Amino acid sequence: MNALSKFRAYLDDTALVAIIRGVRSDEVEAVGEALIAEGIRIIEVPLNSPDPLDSIGLLAKRFGADASIGAGTVLDPANVQRVADVGGELIVSPNVDIDVIRATVSAGLVSSPGFFTPTEAFAAIRAGAHVLKLFPAEAAGPSVLKAQRAVLPRDVPVLAVGGITPQNMGEYIAAGAQGFGLGSGLYSPGRSAEEIRTRARAYVAQLR
């Protein structure tokens, strides 16, 4: 199964992406184990975390057969191959950078750029993006997502990222969100694996 097929299978099962910004390499496996135990099988380590490539490599080696592991906050196309070299399969950016998207597609990885306007969304799709993330979703709100979802291709998933809580997920789903990226509501540096697992459980329960 290639990277995109894996990603889509996990998204179809539990449409949540864990964004573990700030995670340390000495704790990342415990965090990954907690997330996967609760059904979250897409994990993003932002590149502005401590030793992010080490963390991605550790997650990919231990959980790569059962999860899609990748990098977030990818701003430079040169980092795409670095992520691939340690076993990462997902490239997430906060913006639409055509060079990053094309490098990701060329490397056979999953491209998930952040967008805020229809112009950005269609530019990303033309460049080959596989899944879009509305970011920051809290600034747009469900009404903006609903309007954009009416014109965006149905076969390109749109994830809401930024300010997502178990309580507001329903509004975004009704507006057309096909999944969510979970940041500080799920993980922040210093949280124990058990607390992360409890938070993950709440998100998964609300989604289902």
Going from the N-terminus, what domains does the chain have, and what CATH number goes with each?
A: 3-207 (3.20.20.70)
Q: From the candidates 6, 38, 44, 89, which is the catalytic residue?
A: 44
Averaged pLDDT for residues 108-137: 97
Q: How confident is the model at residue 81 (pLDDT cuts 50, 70, 90)?
A: very high
Q: State yes or no: is 146 an active-site residue.
A: no
Three-state SS sequence of the chain: CCHHHHHHHHHHHCCEEEECCCCCCCCHHHHHHHHHHCCCCEEEEECCCCCHHHHHHHHHHHHCCCCEEEEECCCCCHHHHHHHHCCCCEEEECCCCHHHHHHHHHCCCEEEEEECCHHHHHHHHHHCCCCEEECCHHHHHHHHHHHHHCCCCCCCCEEEECCCCCCCHHHHHHHCCCCEEECCCCCCCCCCHHHHHHHHHHHHHHHC
Set 6, 38, 89, 133: catalytic member: 133
Is 44 annotated as catalytic? yes
Q: What is the pTM of this model?
A: 0.95
Residues 86, 56 contacting (CB under 8 angstroms): yes
Q: What does the mean pLDDT of the chain come to?
A: 96
Confidence tier at 1 by pLDDT (50, 70, 90): confident
If pLDDT is split at 50, 70 and 90, which confidence band does 208 have? confident
What gap in Å lies between CA 101 and CA 13, rounded to an integer? 25
Give the model confidence (pLDDT) of 179-207 as tens digits.
999 999 999 999 999 999 999 999 999 98
**Residue 53 pLDDT:** 98
pLDDT-based confidence at residue 160 (cuts at 50, 70, 90): very high
